[in-house]
Amino acid sequence: MKPSSEHFNKTVKDTLNNPTIQKNLSGLYNGFHKARIEASNSTENWESLQELGKKIKDHTISNLDYYLEQVHSNVTKNGGQVFFSKDSKSATKYILDLAKKNKVKNVIKGKSMISEEMGLNDSLQKEEIETIETDLGEYIIQMADETPFHIIAPAIHKSKEDISELFEKNLSMPKSDNPEVLAKEARNQLREKFIQADMGITGANFVAADTGTLILVSNEGNGRMCTSMPKIHIAIMGMEKIVPSIEDLSVFLPLLIRSATGQMISSYITEINGPRRNEEIDGPDEFHLIIMDNGRSKLLQNKDLRESLNCLRCGACLNACPVYRKIGGHSYGWVYSGPIGAIVSPVLTNISDAKDLPFASSLCGACKEACPVKINIPRMLLHLRKEISEGNSKKISISSLFEKIMFKFSTILLLNPKFFRTATKLLSIIQKPFLKNGVFEWLPAPLKSWTKYRTLPAIQDIPFHKRWVSIFKNSNNND
């Protein structure tokens, strides 16, 4: 799936008309969003952690070539194998080849957004390799044959009734409205899968360059099972997930966890230093780290958008965003949703098809305020808008052509105060027959979409600049 205007408009409409989804989305404000604010308020040095986090990320992204090499060398030293992959095609091939070579039949997966970029589950299943998501949210949406609705809470749009129905159909269990009963059944089912699996695939929250350590943050413990039970563990990471040193985790773990769920610390933090060593009992025989570009170098090369690579994928901007809290994750049409998705999706897919994403924002800046590493998302949205409006897109629609002409024309007027004032004077006269109680209740397109939901005030007969001269004569008699 890729973003498109058609998909966007349809899904927005469907989502706005779905009361279950609307209820769950509006719950994000008092849920994750407020929990994040509380957690950050109770972290004494939050601001300086943010500053430090931003600094480290800026530094790492500007020196990515150096740190990529360091990761390669240290992971190899730890006994792991590193594969640099340009795109999802080559990464998929690497995984399939490895699966074939080892006669893999059952794969278990930890939550990984980058594997969603690859559509990895489909590719594995086409080769008749059973692939099971083990994060509860991912498990649910895999069952529903959907994509993640939210970066950290993939099934946030589902009610417990929806989930119970899915479980009834797929797991043949009786209906239940008790989340504990539902979770327990999922746990029972997954236990078997963990035992059977011969390959585990996870994402990466961080990779520390100086030690070659992979860090996974989770609440369910499934990530740890995926990395330790099967014979082979593959971790896939976007090339931006590097931190220079394992010590940097003292900055990034609180930033990530507190911004994501509002917890002070997650239930599990797993640090992987390669495959099982000879003296160890548990762990995989092989550890593979796939470092993927998949379009990220386009972000890296663009100085105005590079900051988007600082993202920790905590999802705080989604929870803070009043637009996301209305249109939900699926409207964005690709893996990453919300404000950060509106930046990276158009670049990683195709900007001319994804042009709604940067524009469907009121630029309120709630994302910027929420971001643990202070990514200036509105600024990047503005740059993408510029690229779209001024670009030479072949698919220019009549409405965007009209808009272009309007802006060029109004600028000519605004540059000439006399023209502009004559034009508004004329409008103030022409408008008269259309006014009702001093406001517009209906106007033709393009303002029709305004008056459908609000009235529009009339242009006043005497604008302020005409009143200016007389203002003080009338009011300040005491002077």
Partner 1 sequence: MNKSNNNVQASLFITCIIDNFYPEVGESTAKVLDYFDVKLDLPENQTCCGQPAFNSGYWNESKKLAKKFIKDFQNSNYIVIPSGSCTSMIKVFYKELLHDEKNYTEKINSISSKTFEFSDFLVNIMGINDLSSYTEKSDNQEEDLITYHESCHLRRELNIKNEPRQLISSISNIKLIEMNQSEVCCGFGGTFAIKYPEISSEMLKDKILNIKSSHSNLVTSCDSSCLMQISGGLKKQNEKIKTTHISEIIYKRLKSKIE
Binding site residues, partner 1, CB under 8 A: 12-13, 16, 26, 29, 322-323, 326-327, 359-366, 368-369, 379, 382, 385-390, 403-404, 407-408, 410-411, 414-415, 417, 420, 424, 428, 439, 441, 446-447, 449-450, 452-460, 462-465, 467-468, 471-472, 475-476, 478-479
If the CB atoms of residues 179 and 446 are measured against partner 1, the closer one turns out to be 446
If the CB atoms of residues 286 and 387 are measured against partner 1, the closer one turns out to be 387
Q: What is the DSSP letter of 262?
A: S
Q: How far is the CB of 295 from partner 1 (least distance, A)?
A: 22
If the CB atoms of residues 35 and 253 are measured against partner 1, the closer one turns out to be 35
338-373 b/e (C-beta count within 10 Å ≥ 16 → b): bbbbbbbbbbbbebbbbbbbbebbeeebbbbebbbb
- In this structure, which amino acid lies at residue 53? G
Q: How far is the CB of 413 from partner 1 (least distance, A)?
A: 8
| Dihedral class, residue 172 (left if φ above 0, else alpha if ψ from -120 to 50, else beta) | left
- β-pair type (199-202, 206-208): unpaired
The encoded tokens of residue 427 equal 């409008």
Q: Are 246 and 210 in contact (CB under 8 A)?
A: yes
Q: What is the DSSP letter of 436?
A: B
Q: Are 268 and 221 in contact (CB under 8 A)?
A: yes
Q: How far is the CB of 239 from partner 1 (least distance, A)?
A: 27
Q: How far is the CB of 166 from partner 1 (least distance, A)?
A: 28
If the CB atoms of residues 180 and 453 are measured against partner 1, the closer one turns out to be 453
If the CB atoms of residues 11 and 159 are measured against partner 1, the closer one turns out to be 11
If the CB atoms of residues 126 and 465 are measured against partner 1, the closer one turns out to be 465
Q: How far is the CB of 36 from partner 1 (least distance, A)?
A: 14
Radius of gyration of the chain measured on its C-alpha atoms:
26
Return the H-helix or E-strand segment holding 305: none
- In this structure, which amino acid lies at residue 391? G
- β-pair type (456-457, 439-440): antiparallel
Q: How far is the CB of 141 from partner 1 (least distance, A)?
A: 24
